[in-house]
Amino acid sequence: MNTARAAWRRLEPVHGMIYFVPEGRLRYADLGLSGRAGYFTSRSAAFGRASAELVIATFYNFNPEFVRQAVDGAWNATTPKQVLDARYAAAGEALRRARIHELPHLDEVVALTRRAAEAACEHAQGRPLFAAHAALPWPEEPVLRLWHAQTLLREFRGDGHVACLLSEGVGGLEALVLHAATGEVPAGFLKASRAWPETEWADTQERLRERGLLDGDALSPEGVLLRRHIEDRTDRLALPAYAALGDAGCERLAELAEPFGRAVIEAGLLELG
């Protein structure tokens, strides 16, 4: 399980950069999508003309009113196909800017990642965001095949994570507050990016203190155990994808993935614009 998690984490920047790079913002703006409409429509376009309610349900931890404001009317300006085309074009441009296509072992990394992603497709039930992306055609270009494969693995894991949160009675905002309490991500970034008002954040903190999960602004011992439990269960739910590679394949992918993730980070593709 640890090797599978390492393989995912090391390659995750290859997918995650699409939410930060200017290539995406510019291409979405060309379609008439301003502000956060580009993020919500590009990630949900695999559903078709996704309603705000569908995005709220599947994205889980964003302020619902923020999602409605961003999504309402967006599909009057463009189509899901145009948005998907723009997203793939932006991903390819950004990854080539990081010179991913010049790294050794690209073909092997693509083959391993695709094998894991295709194995995940056999376990799509209960994972709506993953299933929508899994129905999209595979790109021809190796760099885009890698991005698509890692996108599938990210959404496969993400849907499983939402299921774990639901089963533990942890709502979207509660999950964000608990995440902030670990100190891994600044609370200010999570509040701003998910658009939660300070009053609602503070009220949620108080509820989590009453549940014994927070001690002040930090995780209590019970909160630490819950977070660990949810992360471990998320890892287990992601295993069907990586089981197809076996231990040796996971170790090989974890080894080869590191330069790819590092190239994305060193090229500044994860920096806020």
Residues 215-239 have pLDDT tens digits of: 999 999 999 999 999 999 999 999 9
Return the amino acid letter for 13: P
Is 271 part of a structural domain of the chain? Answer: no
Residues whose CB falls within 8 Å of the CB of residue 179, separated by 6 or more in sequence, listed in order: 185, 190
Residue 177, token pair as written in the block: 């507050």
Instruction: Report the number of distinct structural domains present in the chain.
Output: 1
141: domain range?
2-266
Low-confidence ranges of the chain (pLDDT < 50): none
* Residue whose pair of structure tokens reads 């998907």 in the numeric block: 84
The full DSSP string for 202-252 is HHHHHHHHHTT-EETTEE-HHHHHHHHHHHHHHHHHHHHHHHTTHHHHHHH
pLDDT at residue number 60: 94
Is 193 part of a structural domain of the chain? Answer: yes
Is 138 part of a structural domain of the chain? Answer: yes
Is 235 part of a structural domain of the chain? Answer: yes
Is 186 part of a structural domain of the chain? Answer: yes
First to last CA, the chain: 35
Is 245 part of a structural domain of the chain? Answer: yes
Q: How far, in Å, CA of 162 to CA of 171, rounded?
A: 9
Residues 101-115 as b/e (b if ≥16 CB within 10 A, e otherwise) read eeeeebeebbbbbbb
Q: How far, in Å, CA of 181 to CA of 226, rounded?
A: 12
Residues whose CB falls within 8 Å of the CB of residue 225, separated by 6 or more in sequence, listed in order: none
Is 226 part of a structural domain of the chain? Answer: yes
Is 50 part of a structural domain of the chain? Answer: yes
pLDDT at residue number 185: 87
3-state secondary structure of 212: coil
